[in-house]
Amino acid sequence: MYQGNSEPKVFTLEGAEHPYRVLVESMNEGAISLSLDGTILYCNAAFARLIGCPLDQIMGRDLVEFIPVEEREMLERLIGRGHLDAVRAELTILEAPGRGLPTQVSLNPINLEEGPSIAVIVTDLSERKRHQQAEAAVRMRDEFLAIASHELRTPLTTLVLSLGAVEHDRTKGDLKQIQRSLRRAQKQAERMGRLLDRMLDVSQMAAGKLKLDLAPCDLSDVVRDIVERLSEDASNAACELRLTLSSGIVGQWDRFRLDEAFSNIISNAIKYGAGHPIDIQLQASDENAVLVVEDHGIGIAPDDLSRIFGRFERTVASKNYGGLGLGLYIARQIIEQHRGSIRAENRPCGGARFVIKVPLVSSTETILKN
């Protein structure tokens, strides 16, 4: 009741229906009233705009029709709770076939003349998500630049020192020492080249421009060459590389790219499994070539298993283990480009296991069709 200057006035729900409807229709958020079984009894124009559907084609339909299949069970749980208490969750609304809109839905129980119902407010989160993604991208860029700067500075410093030693040894006429200094300089220059190649690979992958040069290839030879090439790194890390190969595993692959992917996996095992043997097994299984790399090192935290193949992902502190956080990402991209798969898991007795599968295709058709 409101006491004015003259006589009292009573505002009833019926009398306020029009102002409330105007308010709901002027909202930027979507507004829905649901029956307890999820049928849309009413929605405002803002919700119709969110999903790009005329109002007269929305009311009377089940809300679940506008939710991706994988989130419908969540919606059912929300509706089950929403007729009893206020609940809130993030949910994807389909604004077009195959295209989802991130939203926050708030459900509250209400009582209408027709009986109990659920009021739903739908808030578009796409702008907030874009802002969060932009902030995350800036943080990732800054972290990457810091790591890249550190990783490039180390070989560059050694290269400068080695070249300075060459000049010093030249004046002394010490040919053997000059040769040793030049080998050190060459090794550091090659290391910088590999780092720069990785950054270029990531740029190409992000732009979808990574191309495969497919040709008949014996994967056994590829793995054997990698183990021989990494033997010095393994020796420096006190790792024994134990190789088990099946011969004659031949398919249509990009030898250079698979060499890069497998090298990244084995180098990763050497880095995190230092002081322990590393088992490398290659065999044919069904229609795939299967490479298994096992180390006996620090293993991988369970929460990190799903993200270690991400770009710039690092599961341990960079001060303890060097690298750009790109090796596993590049490996996954190359393997998947070959229509293969890669997964990581922890060994029961400690350490990590990587399982890589690439199909033994006899032609390039299945790989090049996209």
pLDDT at 289: 94
Q: What is the CATH number of the domain that holds 289?
A: 3.30.565.10
Q: What is the CATH number of the domain that holds 24?
A: 3.30.450.20
Q: Higher model confidence: residue 190 or residue 246?
A: 246
Residue 34 sits in the same domain as residue 101 = yes
Residue 319 sits in the same domain as residue 222 = yes
Residue 146 sits in the same domain as residue 253 = no
Residue 171 scores a pLDDT above 80: no
The residue out of 186, 206, 226 marking a domain boundary is 206
Residue 347 scores a pLDDT above 70: yes
Tell the residue number behind the tokens 């890069």, with chain if given: 260
pLDDT at 51: 86
Q: What is the CATH number of the domain that holds 196?
A: 1.10.287.130
Residue 201 sits in the same domain as residue 222 = no
Residue 243 sits in the same domain as residue 176 = no
- Choice among 134-138, 164-168, 323-327 with the minimum mean pLDDT: 323-327
pLDDT tens digits, one per residue of 120-156? 999 988 888 888 777 777 776 666 666 566 556 666 7
- E strands present in the chain: 2-3, 8-9, 30-34, 40-43, 87-96, 99-112, 115-124, 215-218, 241-245, 250-253, 278-285, 288-294, 341-346, 352-359
Residue 323 scores a pLDDT above 70: no
- Choice among 28-37, 52-61, 206-215, 239-248 with the minimum mean pLDDT: 206-215
Mean pLDDT over each residue of the chain, to the nearest integer: 79
Element holding 81 (H helix, E strand): helix 72-82
What is the full DSSP assignment across 24-59? HHT-SSEEEEE-TTSBEEEE-HHHHHHHT--GGGTT
Q: Higher model confidence: residue 321 or residue 307?
A: 307
Residue 237 sits in the same domain as residue 96 = no
Residue 21 scores a pLDDT above 80: no
The residue out of 172, 206, 240 marking a domain boundary is 206
- Given pLDDT bands bounded at 50, 70 and 90, which one contains residue 369? very low
pLDDT tens digits, one per residue of 221-250? 999 999 998 888 899 899 999 999 988 899
Residue 133 sits in the same domain as residue 240 = no
- Domain interval for residue 108: 2-124
- Count up the domains in the chain and report the number: 3
Residue 153 sits in the same domain as residue 182 = yes
Residue 247 sits in the same domain as residue 362 = yes
- Given pLDDT bands bounded at 50, 70 and 90, which one contains residue 366? very low
Residue 66 scores a pLDDT above 60: yes
pLDDT at 203: 65
Residue 342 sits in the same domain as residue 251 = yes
